[in-house]
Amino acid sequence: MGRPLPVHVPRRGRHGLVQAPGHPRVRAVPGEKAGGGRRERGVRDVSELRLLGCAVLLNLGVAAVLGAGIARYMVETIPRIATVALTELVAEHAEIAANAGGSPEETAAATRAWARALENALRQVAERHGAVLLPIRGVAAGAPDLTAEVRAEIAHALAHGSALAGGRVLAHGNVPAHGSVPAQDDVLADDHPATREERP
């Protein structure tokens, strides 16, 4: 019988090195459980998806709240737009005052009374329709024109107390009586009353 061959059994050395007589040192590879890494990656992916879903839902909620707030703010604070021909009204008054034949003091008093009547008429018409009155028609194309209603308010105010010195009232001819302004297609239909309450 021949001599048996020597068998070299590798042994583990320090620092996880595998040592065997006559062989170089080889770094030991730590063993992994089957499927362990795959399971950890799956858990991490699920966590990331949940975090992403929560972020998306949070963003959608914030966007919805902001959208509702902006819509409510816009509806509550932005009034409708209407126009009034202030230049035309001023020109009409200037022509009437020039043809009145009064003294300069009377003309000045009449102009002050007319200016107060104009201011009150603009405020009342704007409040009645819930609109902002712009003096230039070209600024808001298609906006309703409330000049006739403002003119009627001025005539009503002047006829009920704004008289010239000497008892003569400025005559604004061809002005419709108060409360009888003809209906126009461009007047705000939903807020414009057919007639106002008669004043005493």
Q: Express each pLDDT in 78-103 by its tens digit.
A: 678 888 888 888 888 888 888 887 78
pLDDT of residue 151: 92
On average, the pLDDT of the chain sits at 66
Provide the residue ranges of all domains of the chain, joining segments of one domain with +: 33-78, 79-200
User: Which pLDDT tens digit goes with each residue over 22-77?
Assistant: 555 555 555 555 555 555 555 566 666 666 766 666 666 556 655 655 565 555 55
- What confidence tens digit (pLDDT) does each residue in 143-167 have? 888 889 999 999 998 888 644 333 3
**Measured on CA atoms in the order 127, 131, 137, 143, is the torsion positive or negative?**
negative
| pLDDT for 21 | 56
Are 195 and 179 in contact, with CB atoms under 8 Å apart? yes
Of residues 53 and 117, the one with the higher pLDDT is 117
Contacts of 118 (CB under 8 A, 6+ apart): 89, 150, 154
Question: Could you say which DSSP state residue 189 is in?
Answer: T
Predicted TM-score (pTM) of the model is 0.46
Nearest to 146 by CA among 85, 98, 191, 59: 85
